[in-house]
Amino acid sequence: MNFKPLSNHLFLEPVEEEKTTASGIVLPETAEKEKPVKAKVVAVGPGKKNDKGEVQPMAVKIGDVVLFKKYGPDEFELEGKKYLVGDEDDILAVIE
């Protein structure tokens, strides 16, 4: 299925984080609550219009892995897969 977000919205596919440290310590879920979350960008909108009516291009592209605030994007399920939808403003950084 193809997604076509509007404006500065983007669809993300969550990336599962390792719950065990390199030394073998298993981290509880509570340790992860306030940390930013990783996701892969699966669809991006064209960008948001500025005051002059010009479209500001998106800073992220399909395939980028990004960090975002835990409670930024909204979750939804489509065809049995979990996705997130949010604004470009929810993105904290692109992981290179």
Q: Are 12 and 86 in contact (CB under 8 A)?
A: yes
pLDDT grade, residue 45 (50/70/90)?
very high
Domains of the chain: 9-16+28-95 (2.30.33.40)
Q: What is the pTM of this model?
A: 0.75
CA distances from 77 to 16, 71, 82, 92 (A): 16, 17, 5, 23
pLDDT grade, residue 95 (50/70/90)?
very high
Q: Tell me the pLDDT tens digit for each residue of 62-92.
A: 999 999 877 788 888 888 888 889 999 889 9
Average pLDDT in the chain: 83
Q: Tell me the pLDDT tens digit for each residue of 47-63.
A: 999 999 999 999 999 99
